[in-house]
Amino acid sequence: MIDVCERVVIGMVKVKLLGIFGSAYGSREVELKIEGNVRLKEIIQKLTCTSKALKRVLINSDLESPMPNAVMIVNGKDISVLGGLDTPIRNGDEILIIPVIHGG
């Protein structure tokens, strides 16, 4: 008998990449299969592993983080009010990644 707590949850999430992120990835919308307990940072890693161009524009090389370059929204809420990059991602979630415009 399988323990319900040990069951692997399989689902799909939708990621929308706006502006330069969509151009770099080659698509403005991506559906990803997830298995088990997944955090937002793992979704970001999966996307950047499959696209070096996206990694170049999304990930800050000094901090090794997307935070200075993007605003990330999960199901209509900014991740700053959720769990940041450790926000849990579940089946059916929608992630929006928006570029931050830096000026100077």
Q: pLDDT by residue (tens digit) across 3-37?
A: 444 555 679 999 999 999 999 999 999 999 998 88
The more confident residue out of 7 and 73 is 73
What's the maximum distance between 2 C-alpha atoms anywhere in the chain? Answer: 61
The pLDDT-based confidence of 104 (bands split at 50, 70, 90) is low
Locate 51 and state its tokens.
């696209």
Q: What is the DSSP string of 38-75?
A: EEHHHHHHHHHHH-HHHHHHHSBTTTTBSTTTEEEEET
Question: What are the sequence ranges of the domains in the chain?
Answer: 9-99
Mean pLDDT of the chain: 90
What is the spatial distance between Cα 93 and Cα 91, in angstroms, rounded to a whole number? 6
What is the spatial distance between Cα 38 and Cα 76, in angstroms, rounded to a whole number? 18
What number is the average pLDDT over the span 80-93? 96
CATH of 9-99 among 3.10.20.30, 3.90.1150.10, 2.60.40.10, 3.40.920.10: 3.10.20.30
